Structure formats: C-alpha cells, structure tokens
Amino acid sequence: MAVLERRFISITISLACIFTMMAGGAFAQTKDKEAVPTPFQARVIVTPLGTGFQSSALDIPAGKRFVIKNVSVITRSPEGMRMEVNFFTYIDRNGDNVGDIADITFNRIVLVDQGVFDGVQLAAANHEVLVFADELIGTNHYKVVAQARLNGMPPADAFSQAQFTFSGYLEDVPPPR
C-alpha cells in the first residue's frame, strides 16, 4: 500500500509541475489586451521587362510588423503572354535576431486569366493569407518585396504591369527572444 501511495504522490507532483510550467508559458505569451492593431493597406507596382524577375518594394513603418491578411493582384501583359508573380517577406522565425536565409518566406500567387481587353491580356488573383513581415530584425531593415516576370520577351513598345494590393494591420515588432 505504501508503494502505491508513493507512486500516486509522485505522479501527482509530476503532473502539478507540468501543469504549472504549461500555465506559466501560456501566461508569458499573453498579448497586451490594450494593444489595438492599426489597419494598413498599400499598393506596389512591378513592371516586368521579360523573363527575368523585376522587383518593387513596399516599405513597412519603422519598428512594425505588417500582418498581411489579403493580397490581390491584377496583371496586364501583351496579348498571348502570361505573367508569374510572387512576393516575399522576412520574420525572425528562429529568434536569433539575425536576418538570414531562415527568416525569408516566399509566397506564390495563383493568377486566373480574365481574357483580352483592347489587346491587353488580363489576369487577376485575390488571396486570403496570413503572412508576417517584420520591418526590423536585429539592426537590419526589411520590406515586402513583390516580383513579376513574363513568359517571354514582349514587343518593344508593349505595356506590362503587375499591381499588388496588400491589406492587413500593423503591430509592434516583438522584442528578441
């Protein structure tokens, strides 16, 4: 009987320690209830010149994290041509406070053909997403980078463009772990 009591006490103490550690971790991760996210929306235009990626950058306000909830894109290409678009962001995923290859996230956009209007090939996308973009990791400053490229070389005077609209909210960049 005494052996069973000791085992029961041992198990009870172990479980109490585990629950205390879990509750402590949850308590430490609780967000400031007073913090109100600031809505943020911005547009970036990329002008692809051919098969190589062209890029444009979106500034993130200093010391903020842009939480992207929606991205929409419309592309205009010469008739018969297609465009590939994507964007990338940085977030200190591994908590080392160093902006490195581990902190970059690539986000592909799936375009849907809309047809040809006045000789211009249109395609569009509207994606609900959850993407984080830190402005600051360590002492390095980062941006949201939008990219586009065509599936061939356009005629000399052809118009091509990708317009990205990013919508979401800003929050303070959390301190390093």
Kindly report, residue by residue over 59-103, the tens digit of the pLDDT: 999 999 999 999 999 999 999 999 999 999 999 888 888 888 889
98 plus 143 within the same structural domain: yes
Split into its structural domains, the chain has a count of: 2
Mean pLDDT calculated for residue range 47-52: 95
User: Closest Cα to residue 70, out of 43, 45, 93?
Assistant: 43
Q: 26 or 143, which is more confident?
A: 143
84 and 160 in one domain? yes
pLDDT of 148 strictly over 90: yes
Residue 7 pLDDT class (50, 70, 90 cuts): very low
Same structural domain, 82 and 165: yes
- pTM, entire model: 0.77
Q: How far apart are CA 148 and CA 84, in angstroms?
A: 6
pLDDT given at position 177: 66
Assess contact for 66 and 165: CB atoms under 8 A: no
Please report the pLDDT score of residue 25 as a whole number: 39
Q: Are 61 and 135 in contact (CB under 8 A)?
A: yes
**Can you say whether the dihedral through the CA atoms of 168, 172, 173, 174 is positive or negative?**
negative
Domain presence at residue 46:
yes
Identify whether 135 is part of a domain.
Answer: yes
Neighbours of 112 (CB within 10 A): 9
